[in-house]
């Protein structure tokens, strides 16, 4: 257990020491989205009855920040260690692959949730937001965070240079999150794209998360949970399998 | 007694090269052992397999009786590795790096031991300095400290003195010598053969993935290259010495001298021939000449 705690602590300190870049910057980015989209769209769009666009946007932005930053934390920590070679410091000790997994995933999750809460706090200064079902909010926040921590770990292990990681970020993570209903309800889309959105697991993460705030959503939150939980399980198992096999870490 | 390191039939195939082709090796507890070989001979691969950084294609490796794959936790607890590359974590100070390393090995915080290590390695005044601000030699010593923080009985040093200046090298060896005297087993790879010669009791030489020589340093020196005699004469080399001639450069004759006892006869012969001796050196075989000879002659 000491091994796990130490690695977890080290991973937390790693981003905590550069707080401005790893926590403050993403909160500011989300705030800018809020400012711009709310300014442009608030007067024109109402998605759910009684829910203003700015309020509607908030949970999406929080979730998007959680997803992007859990991914960023796990992936950048691993690629940096691999490229500078200091990954040996964690490969030489008798850490089990499970300890390794837990430490990286939980640290990424902590950063994601700290930023998520930060974005929410900033948002609350501008929008009146109720947390109808806090437990659902937490479940979706954690579930989605675990998925993207795992994807971040897998990408960090797989990538051999920063380019590879940027590729995953720009061609996989960004489209998945932007096209998942952060900024809109999928009911506003043409039938075809509405159907396509249902194949995007991120859609369920955001929709279920949003349900926690408003008590209404595009689909039944139980369906969303039934997508997010197994996705988190599969992502965890895949990551564990990679670690156990020593894929790209132990030749 | 359990071997500190026990290797049987170890093979490693990479997609393009076969780095190890069936290596057997036992290193006893308390030995100071050198693993020598040219670049690409398989030294680092062998060490990486011991450390669990690389997985063998075939064969087994044990550290203090623990298989490095099946009982990796025990094996790694018993092993401290100083890697060849100068790696460091730019986010942390020297002390933090050491505390983390101890924690990864499941150890509770032990400031006294960390201070002792730092003072032995002359790093105490750098304890709270970020590792990226250290010079190359200091970074190397931090790596040594990191490898020792869990007090492993077996210590592997992969080219520990590359790029370290003479003074530091001396103090580093004194420290490692001390560890050996306290019972730690030391496995060393180095390009500085004189270091291996003075420090190590036993030597293995690797060539293209095979062990081509494995013996005590003394035996290797004895058996290896022949002794030679270097002469500067004030005349031509007399006929009776022509059979011994191995080379000639800038007025110096290089003669074979298998036995010291023959020296007297040679000098007497020179006197008789009326040739004066201006300079005379008896060259002892060193590990470098043995190494070169082994590498030249060994059929891999």
Let me know if residue A251 belongs to a domain: no
Is the model's pLDDT at B225 over the cut of 70?
no
Please indicate if any CB of chain A lies within 8 Å of the CB of B146: yes
DSSP letter assigned to residue B177: H
Domain check: are B231 and B216 in the same one?
Answer: no
pTM: 0.87
Residues B280 and B210 in one domain: no
Within 8 A of A93 by CB-CB distance, chain B residues are 76, 101, 104-105, 150
Strand (E) or helix (H) holding B94: helix B94-104
Using the Cβ of A77 and the Cβ atoms of chain B, whether some distance falls under 8 Å is answered with: no
What average pLDDT does range A205-234 have in this prediction? 94
Using a CB-CB cut-off of 8 Å, the residues of chain A touching B14 are 251
Express as a percent the part of chain B with pLDDT over 90.
46
Residue A163, in any domain of the structure = yes
Regarding beta strands B18-27 and B5-13, do their DSSP bridges make them parallel or antiparallel, or are they unpaired?
Answer: antiparallel
- Tell me, yes or no, whether B299 lies in a domain: no
Whether residues A94 and B73 touch (CB distance < 8 A) is answered with: yes
Residue B263 lies in a domain: yes
Asked which of B179, B206, B222 is the last residue of a domain, the reply is: B222
- From residue A81, alpha-carbon distances to A232, A241, B91, B170 in Å are 25, 20, 11, 31
Which domain range does residue A135 map to? 2-42+52-245
A18, A86, A92: residue with CB nearest B81: A92
Question: Burial of B57 by CB count in 10 Å (0-12 exposed, 13-18 middle, 19+ buried)?
Answer: middle
Confidence of residue A8 (pLDDT cuts 50, 70, 90): very high
Q: State how far residue A41 is from chain B, nearest Cα, in angstroms.
A: 42
In-domain check, residue B276: yes
Does a structural domain hold residue B85?
Answer: yes
The residues that bridge with B26 in the sheet, in sequence order, are B6
- Find the residue in B nearest to A99 (Cα): B104
Kindly state whether residues B120 and B251 are assigned to the same domain: no
Residue A47 lies in a domain: no
- Report the range of poorest mean pLDDT among A57-61, B31-35, B52-56, B134-138: B134-138
Shared domain check, B200 and B247: no
Whole-angstrom distance, CA of residue B128 vs CA of residue B177? 27
- A3 contacts B105? CB cut-off 8 A: yes
Q: What is the pLDDT of residue A193?
A: 87
CB-based contact (8 Å) between B152 and chain A?
no
Place of tokens 């060490």: B47
> What pLDDT shows up at residue B224?
63
Counted domains in chain A: 1
Q: What is the pLDDT of residue B299?
A: 64
The reply to whether B75 and B207 lie within a common domain is yes
- How many independent structural domains does chain B possess? 2
pLDDT digits (tens, 9 = 90+) for B146-171: 999 999 999 999 988 776 778 778 88
Cα separation, B69 vs A18, whole angstroms: 37
Are B271 and B188 contained in the same domain? no
- Give the residue-averaged pLDDT of B234-251: 82
∠ CA B108-B113-B117 to the nearest 5 degrees? 130
pLDDT-derived band of residue B239, with 50, 70 and 90 as boundaries? confident
**B150 and B171 belong to one structural domain:** yes
Statement: residue B280 has pLDDT above 70: yes
Same domain, B145 and B232: no
Same-domain pairing of B202 and B240: no
In a domain, A97, yes or no: yes
| Domain hosting residue B44, numbered range | 5-222
Find the mean pLDDT for residues B44-58. 93
Same domain, B137 and B251: no
More confident residue, B32 or A41: B32
Asked if B174 and B76 sit in the same domain, the reply is yes
CA B62 to mean position of chain CA atoms: 20
CA distance A79 to A153: 9
Same domain, B170 and B260: no
Which has the higher per-residue pLDDT, A46 or A85? Answer: A85
**Closest CA–CA distance from residue B108 to any residue of chain A (Å):** 7
C-alpha B282/C-alpha B285 separation (Å) is 10
> Each residue of A164-203: pLDDT tens digit?
999 999 999 999 888 888 888 888 888 888 888 889 999 9
Please identify, among B205, B222, B239, the residue that sits at the C-terminal boundary of a domain. B222
Give pLDDT, residue B288.
79
Residue B285: is its pLDDT beyond 80?
A: no
For residue A84, the chain B residues in CB contact (below 8 A) are 87-90
- Report the range of poorest mean pLDDT among A67-71, B26-30, B215-219, B225-229: B225-229
Return the closest-CA partner of residue A151 out of A67, A220, A29.
A67
Whether A211 is covered by a domain: the verdict is yes
């Amino acid at each position: 257990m000491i091994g796990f705690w130490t690695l977890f602590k080290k991973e937390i300190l790693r981003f905590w020491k550069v707080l401005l870049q790893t926590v403050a910057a993403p909160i500011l980015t989300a705030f800018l989205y809020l400012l711009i989209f709310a300014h442009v769209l608030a007067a024109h769009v109402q998605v759910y009855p009684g829910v203003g666009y700015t309020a509607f946007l908030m949970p999406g932005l929080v979730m998007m920040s959680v997803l992007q930053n859990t991914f960023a934390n796990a992936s950048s920590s691993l690629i940096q260690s691999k490229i500078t070679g200091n990954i040996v410091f964690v490969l030489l000790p008798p850490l089990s692959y499970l300890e390794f997994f837990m430490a990286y995933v939980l640290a990424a999750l902590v950063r994601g949730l700290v930023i998520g809460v930060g974005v929410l706090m900033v948002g609350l200064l501008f929008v009146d937001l109720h947390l109808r079902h806090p437990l659902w909010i937490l479940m979706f926040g954690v579930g989605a965070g675990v998925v993207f921590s795992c994807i971040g770990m897998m990408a960090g292990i797989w990538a051999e240079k920063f380019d590879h990681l940027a590729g995953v970020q720009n061609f996989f993570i960004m489209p998945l999150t932007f096209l998942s209903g952060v900024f809109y309800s999928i009911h506003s889309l043409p039938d075809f794209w509405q159907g396509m959105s249902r194949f995007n697991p991120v859609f369920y993460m955001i929709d279920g998360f949003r349900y926690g705030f408003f008590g209404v959503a595009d689909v039944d939150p139980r369906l969303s949970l039934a997508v997010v939980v197994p996705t988190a399980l599969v992502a965890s198992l895949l990551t564990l399998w990679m670690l156990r096999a020593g894929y790209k870490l132990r030749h | 007694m359990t071997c500190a390191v026990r290797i049987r039939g170890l093979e490693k195939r990479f997609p393009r090269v076969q780095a190890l082709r069936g290596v057997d090796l036992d290193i006893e507890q308390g030995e100071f052992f050198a693993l020598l070989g040219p670049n690409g001979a398989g030294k680092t691969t062998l060490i990486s397999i011991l450390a669990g950084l690389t997985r063998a294609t075939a064969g087994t490796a044990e550290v203090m009786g623990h298989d490095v794959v099946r009982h990796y936790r025990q094996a790694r607890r018993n092993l401290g590795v100083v890697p060849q590359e100068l790696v460091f974590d730019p986010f942390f100070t020297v002390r933090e790096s050491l505390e983390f390393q101890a924690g990864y090995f499941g150890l509770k915080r032990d400031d006294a031991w960390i201070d002792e290590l730092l003072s032995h390695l002359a790093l105490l005044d750098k304890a709270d300095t970020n590792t990226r601000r250290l010079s190359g030699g200091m970074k190397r010593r931090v790596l040594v400290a990191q490898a020792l923080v869990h007090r492993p009985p077996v210590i592997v040093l992969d080219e520990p003195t590359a790029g370290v200046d003479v003074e530091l090298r001396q103090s580093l060896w004194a420290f490692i010598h001390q560890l050996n005297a306290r019972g730690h087993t030391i496995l060393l790879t180095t390009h500085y053969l004189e270091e291996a010669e003075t420090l190590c009791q036993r030597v293995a030489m690797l060539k293209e993935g095979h062990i081509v020589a494995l013996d005590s340093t003394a035996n290797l020196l004895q058996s290896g290259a022949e002794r030679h005699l270097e002469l500067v004469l004030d005349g031509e080399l007399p006929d009776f010495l022509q059979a011994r001639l191995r080379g000639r450069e800038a007025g110096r004759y290089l003669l074979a001298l298998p036995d010291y006892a023959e020296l007297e006869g040679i000098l007497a012969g020179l006197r008789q021939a009326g040739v004066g001796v201006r300079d005379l050196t008896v060259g002892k075989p060193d590990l470098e000449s043995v190494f070169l000879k082994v590498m030249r002659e060994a059929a891999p």
